Structure 1
């Protein structure tokens, strides 16, 4: 057996071990029945979100939490986002919307919107969420409970993903697959090493005093994967941070079709690998090309172990992330194909510096 085949199998066993660790440790946000009363600022950057944001606002209004303010930042929207939200705010006193300032040089849009929102917020905690999400009852209390228990400066939650079209089902599960197959999520909190860092910008819950002191979004103003860079900074500054799975407490429909999925994931996939093309290509070689070579050889003794590990991994990851186990098993080969396609698009955008998002260029450094 060649050295390469050994390397593929060893990497597969390592990834499987990480998945087993995540499955056993069950890194989900615990649901609590205790009610808290600290003021929470729910902060929402919104650019061209007229199709999504009202559902989010209704879900916040239906929370079993009363001491909160909601501030929506209309980030130079070209649709009716401002008008719809303004109408909602006019009959809901806890909600307000403001127009964002023009985007300065050397800032990315979402990072600047979050920075402005934090400057306006008055709560003890800052909860940043995206406009395409919905909050379930109990989320805010559960976030505060976990924050206080761990004396955290930042708690980030990987949301449960809503997928309706085939295009979404072929791409969106890749996010949890990569995360839970590579990183023991519990170690984000346990380890002081900033390299062991993961976060989701879809749900970032900050201690407001720490945020005001460090201005986290300003420190990562031009970073595409600002969520991961922020949690690295938090750990470097010796604050406590944690990343957990949503446990059904917050949902997001990131994209609505294949085109949106390809554009969205290719925007930041390479950045998630440190903008290192060679690391991403090496990962693809071991995770996708290697198993294809094993299958092409069609040696039963070689195939049995990797197939078993892949199937069990997909089952555990699907369960942890609240996704359909059978669908992910059936679609796994096609999902890997689209992972390869997204990677190539991401590399092309990075090299040619042609990445855009919501009509704005993405400047990578």
Structure 2
């Protein structure tokens, strides 16, 4: 057998294995809306604070989010079957974020708008904002919610119930990702696909290891006890991907963190244009793999598994190498099948999965761009550097 046939055949087999694993994870993914509590007869845990304190605190960090914050606040305040307070922290915004929060909340006494303190040395903006929110919260259950997330009417109740009914100490209902335009539709669905395809979700619950953690800071819930045991956001004060690092802090503390299906719990439009997506991924992808070498290895594996087969099929068709055509076509279809499973499970566009090889190529370019920006020291987000300034001790 020629080396080309071997390489393409191995890639096709690998893509098929990934598709099977994706299907298994999709089947086993916990659904806080559909799954009943482990013990329906167990009474609700009493709040840790005084009797008048709400059990749940919903915490929204916001920096220059005036355009997006209103729907987020209104959706939270429309939540049913939960007694809660809502805290929004204006993190030194310049666009009227605090005013937008107050306007959306109206006279609802459950809303408090806080003014963020100056960013201290050694901290990045979002971890610092989340730490301030947790410190000001009165609830025993802390629900962190990004300003571009909208909760379903029963979404908050389902999220809080998942804290009680799952073995996870940090529960991250992964919102349905709304993507419009060619760029976002190519790249954004790779978020859910990546952990469905490659992480053993249920095994990670039983044998928690930091390297296997999947987490998402768009929507995350935990008890205050677990949060403090893990060190809170102070433990990830300088992390660009603070959600992943917070999940790892939980596992290092002997706790468990993971994602559950949030498709019917909430939805999120992270990026409204290709330019926003490009800049957003560029500022953070460099930190997703641990090192430039690891990033190169992962990107190389993705290109081998999902781009080489269709490329080989096209080349083989032109050269009359039908052994490569059939192997390449099988690999391409396996890759599309895995993406289709992910799209169906998470509310994505199934038709877009046909462009999976192109999605991987664009992701590879974004990783390279992010690594180059990190090396040049030019990465910023919302007018702040993405690497913490250590300053003076």
> Deviation string for 1:239-272 (max 9, x for gaps)?
2333112131110000000000111122222322
> Residue 383 of structure 2 aligns with which residue?
359
Q: Is the 8 A contact 1:27 1:186 kept in 2?
A: no
Determine whether 1:201 maps to 2:227: no
> Residue 358 of structure 2 aligns with which residue?
334
> Residue 345 of structure 2 aligns with which residue?
320
Q: Which moved more, 1:190-199 or 1:49-58?
A: 190-199
Q: Which moved more, 1:105-114 or 1:329-338?
A: 329-338
Q: Which of 318, 329, 343 does residue 304 from structure 1 map onto? A: 329
Segments of 5+ residues of structure 1 without an aligned counterpart are none
> Residue 87 of structure 2 aligns with which residue?
71
- Describe the SS at the equivalent of 1:119: helix
- Describe the SS at the equivalent of 1:155: strand
* Distance 1:31-1:301 versus aligned 2 partners, 3 A rule: closer
Q: Which of 19, 23, 27 does residue 20 from structure 1 map onto? A: 23
> Residue 65 of structure 2 aligns with which residue?
49
Whole-angstrom CA distance in 1 between matches of 2:93 and 2:141:
27
Determine whether 1:130 maps to 2:146: yes
- Describe the SS at the equivalent of 1:246: strand
Larger radius of gyration: 2
Whole-angstrom CA distance in 2 between matches of 1:133 and 1:40:
18
Segments of 5+ residues of structure 2 without an aligned counterpart are 48-54, 318-323
Cα RMSD over matched residues? Answer: 2.3
Q: Which of 139, 143, 148 does residue 164 from structure 2 map onto? A: 148
- Tell me how far 1:231 sits from its aligned partner: 1.1
> Deviation string for 1:56-90 (max 9, x for gaps)?
11101111134101111101101011122133445
Aligned residues: 364
- Tell me how far 1:7 sits from its aligned partner: 4.5
Q: Is the 8 A contact 1:220 1:226 kept in 2?
A: yes
Q: Is the 8 A contact 2:141 2:222 kept in 1?
A: yes
- Describe the SS at the equivalent of 1:251: strand
> Residue 344 of structure 1 aligns with which residue?
368
Structure-1-length-normalised TM-score: 0.92
Q: Which of 103, 107, 123 does residue 107 from structure 1 map onto? A: 123
> Deviation string for 1:267-288 (max 9, x for gaps)?
2223221233333343344245
Whole-angstrom CA distance in 2 between matches of 1:150 and 1:66:
18
> Residue 187 of structure 1 aligns with which residue?
203
Structure-2-length-normalised TM-score: 0.86
Whole-angstrom CA distance in 1 between matches of 2:311 and 2:105:
57
Q: Is the 8 A contact 2:124 2:240 kept in 1?
A: yes
